[in-house]
Structure formats: C-alpha cells, structure tokens
Amino acid sequence: MSPTPTAALAAALLLSFAAHAGEVQVAVAANFAAPMEKIAAGFAADTGHQAVVATGSTGKFYTQIKNGAPFEVLLAADDETPKKLEADGLAVAGSSRTYAIGKLALYSTRPGYVDAQGEVLKKGSFQHLALANPKLAPYGAAAMQTLKALGLEQALAPRIVQGENIAQAWQFVATGSAELGFVALSQISNPAQPATGSWWVVPASLYTPIRQDAVLLKKGEGQAAAAALLEYLKSVKARALIRSFGYEL
C-alpha cells in the first residue's frame, strides 16, 4: 500500500528536519549543569540539533579554549571570561550576553543547622567550610567576598576546603566531608531533586553580582546548531526553566 499524501509529507518533513540537524559542542559552568541537562533535551526536541555538553570550572574552560579545545559555545559562570575570549580573538566579537544571574547560598545537609542570617559562620561550631576555588570559579570568588564582607576571612581560612568547581564544593557538603559549604542556589533549588537540610541565601550586597554570560566561540562561527542554541536560551521555555532553578534573569 502506498503512503497517503499526508503521511508522505510528514515523512519528507522529518527527513528534511534530520538533514538540517547539527551538533554543537558546549562548555557549561558547573553550577548550570542541571538546568543545561533539561535545556539540551528541550533544544533537541524543538530544533533537532544536539548539544554535546561538558561541565566544569569557567577558569579551566578558559585555559582549554586557549589551548584549542573544540568547544563552539561557552556558558560561563561570569561575564569576564567571555569578554576575555572576545578580546583574545577566540570568541565572536559582540556575541556575549547574560543568560542568568546566579545566587550564592550557604548550605548544610543538617536540618536546622544553618540559620536564616548565616550566624552559624560566626559561631564556629564546624571543622570544614567548602567552597569552589576562587581563582577558577566565580562562585568561589563570591564566597570569599562574602567572608571578607563579614570580617571572617582570616578567622575561617584554616577551615576552608576548596573544590575545583562548585560541583565539587557541593559534593564535599553532600558527602559529609564538610559540615558547611558555599554553593550555588541552583544546586539547592533543582525542581526535580529539591535539597534537604538547611541553608542561607547570601544577600547579594555581600558579593559582586554573578552575571553568567554565554558566548559564541570562533569554532562555532557559522555553525547553525551553535547559533540555534544561543537563540534557544532566549526562548520563553528556556527562560522559565532557568528561573525555576533559582536564577534571576
């Protein structure tokens, strides 16, 4: 039996859709791993393009990109690294834009341990305080700014344990290696896996705003999938998802 005209048209459209689908290599800041997993799924369903995602610290990605890593898009945890890449000629000039504004939180797996004002930091009833490497990760830098603003930088320095990125800092707290940790609010606010324990959302006045920028890298210039992903991040669907993880827009 020959296919009906409608079925034939649908098949042709699917073949055309697949023929134009592409793949984009994306470097994603560790704090944005969970939202990006959902965004990548929606991106594939809605556009046919595939986002191949690597997550890690923004500082390390900068070094890797300078050394020729094949990434086509960077979703950074700051707004400085994309601008540096543009200045270095490794990203398309003028392509960076803010896709999210991150928030810092002090977290413990123990319910009731972290109070609503973060006074637990001053009580000193803990041995270890986890945070991301401030030289590589903007959330780590924000954590150090917070401690400095509170006058606790020197007093708590011996108790600090550093993760390479915010995902590792989270693991230190989640596994009990550290009683407390500065993490991204998005790690606590995952709609699919809401955190248990206690936390303090650090007032934004205590650290420089974490403006997270996306940028089109030179290796992605002219690539349809790379351009489509950057456009998709602006969509109503993607923006609603980003907001659901506790980010501001």
What is the tens place of the pLDDT at every residue in 85-96? 999 999 999 999
The tokens for 184 are 């991204």
> In the chain, which segments carry CATH 3.40.190.10?
5-101+210-244, 103-206
Sequence-distant (≥ 6) Cβ neighbours of residue 6 within 8 angstroms:
none
Q: Tokens 């401690």 correspond to what residue?
A: 147
pLDDT digits (tens, 9 = 90+) for 189-219: 988 888 899 999 999 999 999 999 999 999 9
Looking at the predicted structure, is the pLDDT value of residue 79 above 80?
Answer: yes
CATH homologous superfamily of 103-206 equals: Periplasmic binding protein-like II (3.40.190.10)
List 130's β-bridge partners, or say none.
Answer: 161, 181
The tokens for 98 are 């803010």
Q: Are 187 and 34 in contact (CB under 8 A)?
A: yes
Extended strands (E) in 118-197:
129-132, 160-163, 180-184
Sequence-distant (≥ 6) Cβ neighbours of residue 120 within 8 angstroms:
106, 108, 113, 114, 126, 180, 200
CATH homologous superfamily of 5-101+210-244 equals: Periplasmic binding protein-like II (3.40.190.10)
* Amino acid occupying residue 178: A
* Amino acid occupying residue 7: A
| Average of per-residue pLDDT values in the chain | 92
Query: What pLDDT was estimated at residue 20?
Result: 61
- Name the nearest CA neighbour of 31 among 179, 175, 190, 144: 190
The tokens for 48 are 């046919």
Q: Tokens 């603003």 correspond to what residue?
A: 149
- Indicate the angle between helix axes 80-87 and 58-66, nearest 10 degrees: 10
CA distance 202 to 205: 8
pLDDT digits (tens, 9 = 90+) for 34-60: 999 999 999 999 999 999 999 999 999
Query: What pTM was estimated for this model as a whole?
Result: 0.84
Q: Are 175 and 86 in contact (CB under 8 A)?
A: no
Q: Are 179 and 113 in contact (CB under 8 A)?
A: yes
Q: Are 78 and 137 in contact (CB under 8 A)?
A: no
* Amino acid occupying residue 141: A
